[in-house]
Structure 1
Amino acid sequence: MALSSGTGLNVALDKTSSQTSTAAGGDASLAVDGNTDTDYQAGSCTQTQDEADPTWRVDLGQLFMVVKVVIFNRQDCCPERLNPFNVHIGDSDQVSKNPMCGGDHQIDVTHPSVDIACDGMEGRYVGVSLPGPSRVLSLCEVQVFFGRLRFK
């Protein structure tokens, strides 16, 4: 059964999260703490080391039909580092093994957030990946919203 109740509830809030590495105190849990401050110095953003194909993921704890993922990007520095990025949704705890919600996404670096429509994709895990060598992934908040109830 995939759960849902509209788009008003962020089901990623305070859920278990992880990323491929951690740098400068940017723990993965900071992207699901409810704080959308886009200034890294405020202590609300994640950061990986400079690496190939860095990823971040959240375990929603159960299957959801995801209709939208909202990503808050750093605005104090280097907002362009997020581009391009991918959103993955599925049942594997390995981000890259899950289907992508759309293709490569871009964020307008002058805006603090971007909404990614995912059309009710089902999954327990929602991940963000940066394809390519020598990338740093930094997320200030990731919100996951789900759609209507569906029984399997």
Structure 2
Amino acid sequence: MRHFLASLLFVGALGISLVDSYCVEKGKNIARDGKPSQISVYHFNGAAQNAIDGNREGVYRKKSCILTKSEFSPWWRVDLHEPQKIGAVVVVNRKDCCWDRLKGAEVRIGNATRNENPVCGTITEAEPGLVTRLCCPGMVGRYVSIVISGREEILNLCEVEIYPEGIEKSCV
């Protein structure tokens, strides 16, 4: 029993919650009603709107992904128009090329227009077309951003879905 309690204290010290294995999601994808923007657009086929169009296709030439120019700390962001309680953020990676670029990207949620809001989670795996669901229970914010902090990179991703806080479902 003492070992179990010590483990819980260690996990808590790392800032990890045992509840993180569940995403709190309910209702519709609220990202679709937001106003997207990004640091730059590499080509008109890679516009910010592509990330909230409901298309998880994952192929850039089909106008289903965003693509920035090579930038230091590139970002994509959606303005939800007012603070929302966020349960989960789903990010769909590109599958036709360059999927490794998304590795290390942070999902940030908050009310600041700059990309310095609290981090919900970091994308730790990058594979073609990978769907990453990050659990963000208790986070509130008007802005949800995907940021590759601290390095020169091109940001590409193909869909971002945001679900409000709701009933518990297992993360995928």
Q: TM-score w.r.t. structure 1 length?
A: 0.87
1:71 equivalenced with 2:91 (yes/no): yes
1:137 equivalenced with 2:119 (yes/no): no
Cα distance, 1:134 vs structure 2: 1.9
- 8 Å CA contact 2:93–2:128 kept in 1: the answer is no
User: Which structure has the larger Rg over C-alpha atoms?
Assistant: 2
Aligned partners of 1:24, 1:111: CA distance in 2, in Å? 21
Match of 2:74 among 47, 54, 63: 54
- 8 Å CA contact 1:71–1:142 kept in 2: the answer is yes
Kindly provide the amino acid, as one letter, of the partner of residue 134 in structure 2.
I
Aligned partners of 2:37, 2:130: CA distance in 1, in Å? 22
Kindly provide the amino acid, as one letter, of the partner of residue 17 in structure 1.
P
SS at the partner of 1:13? helix
- 8 Å CA contact 1:14–1:29 kept in 2: the answer is no
Aligned partners of 1:133, 1:108: CA distance in 2, in Å? 17
Deviations for 1:116-135, whole angstroms, at most 9, x for unmatched residues? 11112000100000023320
- Which structure 2 residue ranges, 5 or more long, are not aligned? 1-24, 167-172
Which structure has more RCO (C-alpha within 8 Å, separation ≥ 6)? Answer: 1
Kindly provide the amino acid, as one letter, of the partner of residue 91 in structure 1.
N
Deviations for 1:62-107, whole angstroms, at most 9, x for unmatched residues? 1111110000110000111101110100011112x211113x3313
Kindly provide the amino acid, as one letter, of the partner of residue 107 in structure 1.
E
Aligned length: 142
- Which structure 1 residue ranges, 5 or more long, are not aligned? 1-5
Aligned partners of 1:142, 1:64: CA distance in 2, in Å? 16
Cα distance, 1:53 vs structure 2: 0.3
Deviations for 1:14-55, whole angstroms, at most 9, x for unmatched residues? 421111111022111110111111011111100100111001
- 8 Å CA contact 1:38–1:112 kept in 2: the answer is no
Q: Which runs of 4+ in 1 moved over 3 A?
A: none
SS at the partner of 1:41? helix
Which residue of the partner structure matches residue 28 of structure 2?
9
Higher-helix-fraction structure: 2
- 8 Å CA contact 1:85–1:129 kept in 2: the answer is yes
Aligned partners of 1:78, 1:28: CA distance in 2, in Å? 18
Higher-strand-fraction structure: 2
RMSD: 1.6
